[in-house]
Amino acid sequence: MSDYINRRLGLKLLLSYLVVIFVGILVLLIASQFAVPSAFGRHMIGMGRMMGQGPGAGQGAGQGLGPGQSEMSADLYREFRLSFFEALKYAVFAAIIAAVAVGIFFSRRVIAPLRAVMAATQHISDGHYDERVQVDGTDEISQLAAHFNQMAEKLEQVESMRRRLIGDVAHELRTPLTVIKGSMEGLMDGVLPAASETYSEIHRETERLNHLVDDLQELSRVEARAYQMDVRSVDVSNLVATVVKRLGHQFDDKRVTLTSNLPRDPMQVLADEDRAIQILTNLISNSLQYTPSGGQVSLDVSRAGNEAQFRVKDTGIGIPAEHLTHIFDRFYRVDKSRSRQNGGGSGIGLAIARHLVEAQGGRIWAESAGESKGSVFAFTLPLVK
């Protein structure tokens, strides 16, 4: 029985209303036991005075009256008591019925939204992430329902991201695997010559797979924030010098010029040095990748309020306007075939860069006047005050 009650909040609420009513009745009964005789006596004295009795009339039911009157008063008191308790009995009965009715009404009002949340929770745990609860009002239960809906929305987003991620990864793996498989079959059947080009092709695709796995591993670490961030004061000129030195050879090889412009005053940013180098390397490598020989890439750093703004500008293939906002989504490539021809990756680099910039309190964005009009990739990092 107690288990049955324990599992039903509505019943508990109803019982709590009834307990309140019973306590009220008990107090009423005890109080009336004490208060009724003296109140009756007081009123009888008042009545005696009105009927011409002297002021010295006594206290209590029937006290200080003549023998006949005293007996009458006692009878009167007894009758009064009986009628009082009879009336009280009806009142108690009516109060209990009213309490049960009001209790059921309010318990239902409280329980119904909780039941809805409970049903929705069950639905979500069964994998139906589109489940939502109706929110009426602003009380705590409505707030619970609103928070529940927010949580459900987040879960739905995470679930759809997970699905998309699996789809994207499968898609990215398929292309190199198909090439490798095709080449191997060609070799086995003797259709393809056992020449170095065939092996180079297979090697290139395995390299691509390797790259993809590395990128995915890095992306998952960055997205899960499963890395140490060593934020400290970093000198911008050192940062730029390191990156320029590291990439210089590749620029020379492709005959693309790389220049850097820094403000005259020394500038310190609050950042993790390795991560800042990683972001710059990624953006400048992209610029090199998407800029034909003879082109130019420049890295400009300037002060913008309490931030340092880094701008990587190239004279490369540019980005059509409709892609600019998506370019930082993972696996997003403006033109997949173009990216592949250019030896491009899987569209993970900029997603990692965005995470790293945002984790250091900055913003990142891309600008381009359109196809073959060059691009600018800019990001900010907080300046040391």
Judged by CB, which is closer to ligand ADP: 279, or 327?
A: 327
Which distant-in-sequence residues (6+ apart) come within 8 Å of 318 by Cβ?
Answer: 368, 369, 370, 371, 372, 373, 374, 375
d(CA 292, CA 290): 7
327 lies in the site for ligand ADP, by CB under 6 A? yes
Judged by CB, which is closer to ligand ADP: 193, or 320?
A: 320
d(CA 149, CA 133): 6
Provide the angle, in degrees to the nearest 10, between the axes of the packed helices 273-289 and 236-254: 30
Question: Within 145-164, which residues bind ligand ADP (CB under 6 A)?
Answer: none
The C-alpha angle with vertex 154 and arms to 150 and 160, in degrees rounded to 5, equals 145
219 lies in the site for ligand ADP, by CB under 6 A? no
83 to each of 64, 87, 172, how far by Cα in Å? 24, 6, 91
Site string for ligand ADP, 270-299 (x = CB under 6 A): ----------------xx--x---------
The piece of 11-19, 104-112, 250-258, 340-348 that touches ligand ADP (CB under 6 A) is: 340-348
Judged by CB, which is closer to ligand ADP: 240, or 351?
A: 351
Question: Within 343-362, which residues bind ligand ADP (CB under 6 A)?
Answer: 344-351
Site string for ligand ADP, 180-209 (x = CB under 6 A): ------------------------------
Question: Is-contact 68 12, C-beta < 8 A?
Answer: no
CB of 384 to ligand ADP, least distance (A): 29
Question: Within 249-268, which residues bind ligand ADP (CB under 6 A)?
Answer: none
Provide the angle, in degrees to the nearest 10, between the axes of the packed helices 67-125 and 9-50: 160
The piece of 142-150, 170-178, 266-274, 331-339 that touches ligand ADP (CB under 6 A) is: 331-339
CB of 283 to ligand ADP, least distance (A): 7
179 to each of 88, 198, 200, 202, 240, how far by Cα in Å? 93, 11, 12, 7, 39
The residues that touch ligand ADP, with contacts defined as CB under 6 A, are 286-287, 290, 314, 316-317, 319, 327, 332-334, 339, 344-351, 375
